Chain A
Amino acid sequence: MSDSRQSSTTLAIQASLKKRYARERRFQWYGRLAVLTGFIFLFILLADIIVKGSPAFTQHYIELDIDFSAEMLGVGENPSAEEIASADFLAVVKDSLREQFPDVTGRSEKKALYRLISIRAEYTLRDMVLADPGLIGTHKNVWLLAHAEAGSYLKGQVDVTAPEAERRVKDAQVAWLDTLRAEGRTESRFNSTFFLSGDSREPELAGIKAALYGSFFTLMVTFCLAFPIGVMAAIYLEEFAPRNRLTDLIEININNLAAVPSIVFGLLGLAVFINFFELPRSAPLVGGIVLSLMTLPTIIITSRAAIQAVSPSIHEAAMGVGASKLQTVFHHVLPVAMPGILTGSIIGMAQALGETAPLLMIGMVAFIMDVPGGVTDPSTVLPVQIYLWADSPERGFTEKTSAAIMVLMGFLILMNALAVYLRKRFELK
């Protein structure tokens, strides 16, 4: 009887076994499918950004035979620096373009011709002559930056088979650029402008240096405030504070603060730091303070978790040999908890690096050309620069937007890698 019962149980198990295995296999496949879908989305996103953004890292230059005649520049003999600075270098550029293409007549045709060269040419030539006034009265071949639209044709981004009316680069410009290319007067170079200059309304002149510096100053302020305050608060709450209603309330509030939408911190920053303390608008100082308020809960929560995870035996051993409570914490608990604290802080900082919403309220979403020199100079940050470029009507900014996203992502990966490295390094000790 017991045999038959057992065999019936075995039978029942065997019957269901197949089903259970199948269920597990199905579940595994669901999991794989989920991971795969995630990867596909990530891949599409990254591929799109990289394909769109990579042309931004090169720029085309056009070689022109420049006639630095004193007459055309409107300067006398042995001109002073001021005279040179106010000389008409645009006329020189226009003249050399007309020399290159003598057939071009008519006002609108000439205008199209002048559009081949970036507006920076004027300033490039001015700086050249300022550095070497002896150039006046001579001829020289100079490589000048191409206009963004001419550049996009030279990069092969313009579909010349489309009707002319629908293209920004007209047939005449295409012919001129082809001639220049055939004569070896065009050249593709690495786009150093993108890394060495601030924002601009000309796509070929726009760079991320100002935004990078702004992000750096902002994050510096954030780190200087949020890290010490956050870690101190975590240590006190975890190790010293008594457990009572008040500390419970504080704990709940910290957890809730971590979930507050970031724009709220921007409103707070506007009301308190700008309107009440009268700190300057658009400054990394205010941006940093606002973002540190935003990252504080993250740092406190992760630091507390890291301190909590330290084995009690370390505590007890230190107390056992007569260490004070403070010595226990700073000599024994904190070093062990440090990898966790640093990881949490760096992830909090990475969040702050990608934030735009609170900065909108305090005036950091603005057109700012000059590279900030300190925490009180007006500046923007990387994600804001991306937003501003995405909003620009000029077509050339599309690739700049993707390129700036690549730079921002590069920094985020770098920061996360640093977090991993620090964790590994401290764990080994």
Chain B
Amino acid sequence: MRKDWNLTHPMLRSTYNVKKPLVGAVAILATLSTIGPVQAENRDIVSIVGSSTVYPFATVVAERFGRGTGFKSPKIESTGTGGGLKLFCSGVGAGTPDITNASRRIKQSEYDGCQENGVTEVVEVLVGYDGIAIANSIDAPAMDISLKDVYLALAKDIPGPDGKLIPNPNKTWKDVNPALPATTIEVLGPPPTSGTRDAFAELAMAGGAEALPGLKALAELDASQVDEIKSAMAQLGLPDTLYDALVAKKGKAPKGEDVFVTVAYAMREDGAYIEAGENDNLIVQKLQANPDAVGVFGYSFLEENGDKVQGSVVDGVAPSFETIAGGEYPVSRPLYFYIKAAHVGKIPGIQEYAIEFTSNKAMGEDGYLTDRGLIPLSEESRQQVQADVKAMKPLAM
């Protein structure tokens, strides 16, 4: 039957007009390729990407900036620090972001990548500090722990009785430190993609590992002390293949610290540390439901949820506004944003946004960002930052 249809007279086919929708679709596709690039070059909205920790502060600034000035309010994506820097350093042009937020300083390798892609002038702006809270439900007793406890509870491998690394045997907090309660270790924290996790590994885990003599000695060795590094590794029971793998990865002889980092940053994978996603609200909710669990998240969430969770005292210091600003609380980190100087003047509002962000009204001691949980800079460094933003002083690394 299908064959028969093909016998239809060709004349009939050609007189019948069915092409309209098709023509429409083709026209839409054709216009796509023409309006796209034109639009991208004329962007009049500042495009910001980067850290999810800076995001809550950046959005508040963007909103005030949009309401208070004639500029459109910037668009802010929360991509994580690493993802943001990758986009930021991908080149110059309206298709790339103008500003990226970061919850750590730009790495040398990222800066070099920027330079290679033509992003030569990058302005670094330090905006304040953020603490990482280790917290549990207010229904449970408050914890008083040291960084060493954190490391012994959460590291994948810890030194055993003979100094060699063994898979973490600790089941309860009491196993870690007899002064702690005998509850099961169950820590909810961010996944490896998160800047909070990076900072937690760097500040808490590495900080705790340094409290152990064997690991501390290893961390202090220089790249030239190959034999010392190898003997320290042997004492810890680490295979030589690890050293060779690091040589292959770095392309040169690793420092003792590189070996230390691979050991100290590794988190348990046996269920004691649970990756709870980037959503810090979710961690708070789970802590509320399970008083035995402990959570790791940004200080601003602790401040907002003071009626549900309580921060643990770390190394004798409770997380608070004052202790983080003063640098006494050990698990705190600086927050930055980076400006692409080549875009300033081409896309309206970039410098004005940066000036609004660094104004006393925003990040001063009584500023609206401080109300949101940003830990402010000292008077002196704030003035320095403000001057740098006015002058658009590029970063040199």
Contact = CB atoms under 8 A, between A and B. Distances in A.
B33 interface: yes
A114 to B, nearest CB: 10
Contact of B63 (A201, A277, A282): A201
A370 B281 contact: no
Given A326-B8, A367-B55, A280 B22 contact: no
Contacts of B39: 279-280, 283, 376
Contacts of B366: 111
B300 interface: yes
Contacts, number: 136
B24 A166 contact: no
B25 A280 contact: no
A76 B62 CA distance: 30
Contacts of B198: none
A325 B59 contact: no
Interface size class on chain A is: 35 or more
Interface in A245-280: 273-274, 277-280
A366 B32 contact: no
Contacts of A277: 32-33, 36-37
B270 interface: no
Given A232-B22, A325-B8, A391-B281, A280 B66 contact: no
Nearest to B93: A278
Nearest to A331: B16
B63 A202 contact: yes
Interface in A208-256: 224-225, 228-229, 231-232, 239, 242-243
Interface stretch (B74-82, B124-132, B318-326): B74-82
B281 A366 contact: no
B45 A326 contact: no
B13 A201 contact: no
Interface stretch (A19-27, A34-42, A392-400): A392-400
Contacts of B32: 273, 277, 279, 285, 289
A278 B38 CA distance: 9
Contacts of A283: 39
Contacts of A243: 2
B18 A324 contact: no
B5 A366 contact: no
A327 interface: yes
Contacts of B380: none
A324 B16 contact: yes
B282 to A, nearest CB: 9
Contact of B24 (A123, A228, A278, A328): A228
Given A225-B25, A278-B37, A369-B62, A330 B18 contact: yes
A363 to B, nearest CB: 6
Contact of B56 (A279, A285, A325, A392): A392
Interface size class on chain B is: 35 or more
B78 A365 contact: yes
B75 A166 contact: no
Contacts of B396: none
Interface of B is mostly: helix
A45 interface: no
B43 A280 contact: yes
A397 to B, nearest CB: 9
A368 B55 CA distance: 12
A182 interface: no
Contacts of B306: 165-166
B75 A228 contact: no
Contacts of A225: 25, 28
Contacts of A193: none
Contacts of B60: 201
Contacts of B40: 278-280
A275 to B, nearest CB: 9
A189 interface: no
B120 interface: no
Interface string B1-15: 010111011001100
Nearest to A393: B304
Given A319-B5, A326-B18, A393-B304, A367 B59 contact: yes
Contacts of A282: 47, 75, 77
B77 A327 contact: no
Nearest to B373: A393
B142 to A, nearest CB: 13
Contacts of A393: 56, 280-281, 300-301, 304-305, 373
A150 to B, nearest CB: 15
A392 B278 CA distance: 12
A278 B9 contact: no
Contacts of B307: 162, 166-168
Contacts of B373: 393
A324 B73 contact: no
A229 B56 contact: no
A278 B39 CA distance: 10
Contacts of B117: none
Nearest to A364: B77
A202 to B, nearest CB: 7
A84 B5 CA distance: 76
Contacts of A390: 279, 281
Contacts of B66: 369-370
Contact of B36 (A202, A280, A325, A367): A280
Contacts of B78: 365-367
A281 interface: yes
A281 B47 contact: yes
B303 to A, nearest CB: 8
Interface string A325-351: 111101000000000000000000000
Contacts of A281: 47, 95
Contacts of A224: 24-25, 28
B24 A391 contact: no
A166 B304 CA distance: 10
Nearest to B33: A277
B95 A327 contact: no
Nearest to A374: B39
Nearest to B40: A280
Interface in A170-229: 200-202, 224-225, 228-229
B391 interface: no
A378 interface: yes
A224 B56 CA distance: 36
B347 to A, nearest CB: 13
Please name the 4 residue pairs, one residue from A and one from B, whose CB atoms are nearest each other, closest first: A166-B307, A324-B12, A279-B36, A228-B21
23 contacts: A166-B307, A232-B22, A242-B2, A278-B36, A278-B40, A278-B95, A279-B37, A280-B40, A280-B95, A285-B36, A324-B8, A325-B13, A326-B8, A326-B16, A326-B18, A367-B62, A367-B75, A368-B73, A370-B45, A370-B73, A378-B75, A390-B281, A391-B280
Interface of A: 111, 119, 123, 162, 165-168, 200-202, 224-225, 228-229, 231-232, 239, 242-243, 273-274, 277-283, 285, 289, 319, 324-328, 330, 363, 365-370, 376-378, 390-395
Given A277-B37, A278-B95, 7 more contacts: A201-B59, A319-B5, A326-B8, A326-B18, A366-B77, A368-B75, A393-B304
